[in-house]
Amino acid sequence: MTEVKQKSDSYEEKGWKTVLIIFLIVATSYLIPIAIDYISTFIGTAYNPTNPNIYKYSNEIIYNYRNGTKGEYSTLKISSKPDQSKEYTSVIVELNDNLLITYECEYNSGYMKNTETYSIFWVFTLNNLLDPLGILLESDEIKVMDPVGILGKVNETYSMVFEEKTVIYDVAPMLFGAQYSFEVELFNSNDRKLGSAIIDSTSGILEIVDGTIDLELINPGIYPMSRHRLTIFGILLFTVVLFPVGVYLYYKYHKKFEKEDYLALTSLVAMGTSSVMIDFILDVWMYAFFGIIFMYSLHIIFAIVYALLSHQFLKVNPIWITPLLIEMIFPIALTLHAGVPFYPALLVGVGSFSSFLFILFRVGQKKPIL
């Protein structure tokens, strides 16, 4: 009886060991890109600057613009052409490709020329990745200048009051997906509220104005407002491939595991790393770039792959991919039947990762390997 109990305890310990090791491998595949992004931001690289200044880039940013009084929709394009030798950046503003106005900003500080005031289109913020509180906190107030006259007179100065941090879910492809942002309110010199706005908290660029006019960023050009997600996503693409390959080679050639076992371990790691990429990166930070058809197709493909791996190599019932199926069915009902916009659809849960965890724990119970 004691011998049977010892074997049972050993079997259970082996199961938990399998679960823990696979989970740690998968977690590491996600933490490595985050760590590299953090380090490169802290150092301040050309691709991943610590606190980017929009007026140091030769660039074009594009907004959708609607005049509330006329109800007309237009395209507002802001082109910056820095000149380090003059210490200023020339900015050209066009409305529907027609020249509207030009102005200059200081190359280094980003202030409007001969002032200590930012334009409404960009303000300096500390990188939230390195400073979670940021330089702008709730109830902070700064002065901004409207060099175009979208709120009133040209070069009028307004108070920008920062209310709270939020996450907005953009649908413009060149904004990629969700954005950490500041909600702000705009007041004139008579303390009359003119509207509210959204400022990107990691880059300071104006995203949305909602008031007598509507302004919505649709393309930041080469300005690196999405640098963190692109860094993490780029590295994660490598870890999603390299980690399963590494596990396969290690347990096949170094540990000399049986074919059934090293294929099972490889399958678990492949499911784990891909589910992390889908649920924690693509579904949240990249959905707008890839679009609804690609995102739904990707989830369907991975649901089929997870089911096949579960049945063929892990010897567990594919029923454990149910969370992933629910995650797909619910968004379809929201977007196609109820008419809810696409962006929140795949954010309702972490179906891929939940399915992976269910399968991992089931393997640990039924067929512990390590």
**Distance between CA atoms of residues 226 and 202, nearest Å:** 8
pLDDT of 366 strictly over 50 = yes
Q: Which residue has the higher pLDDT, 15 or 216?
A: 216
The confidence score (pLDDT) of residue 1 equals: 46
Mean pLDDT value across residues 110-124: 94
Q: Do residues 358 and 268 make contact, with C-beta atoms less than 8 angstroms apart?
A: no
135-139, 145-149, 236-240, 304-308, range with the lowest pLDDT: 135-139
pLDDT of 138 strictly over 60 = no
The confidence score (pLDDT) of residue 348 equals: 56
For residue 356, the SS3 value is helix
Domain ranges (residues) in the chain: 9-42+227-366, 54-219
The predicted-structure confidence for 143-193, as pLDDT tens digits, reads as follows 999 999 988 899 999 999 988 888 888 889 999 999 989 999 999 999 999
pLDDT of 5 strictly over 90 = no
pLDDT of 10 strictly over 70 = no
Of all residues in the chain, what percent are helix, strand and coil, respectively (each to 5)? 45, 25, 30
DSSP assignments along 324-349, one per residue: HHHHHHHHHIIIIIS---STTGGGS-
pLDDT class of 37 with cuts at 50, 70, 90: very high
Cα distances (angstroms) measured from residue 206 to each of 186, 217, 310, 316: 12, 7, 47, 50
The confidence score (pLDDT) of residue 139 equals: 55
N-terminal to C-terminal alpha carbon distance within the chain: 25
Tell which residue, 158, 223, 218, has the closest CA to residue 193: 158
Mean pLDDT value across residues 126-152: 76
pLDDT class of 70 with cuts at 50, 70, 90: low
For residue 162, the SS3 value is strand
For residue 147, the SS3 value is coil
Mean pLDDT across the chain: 88
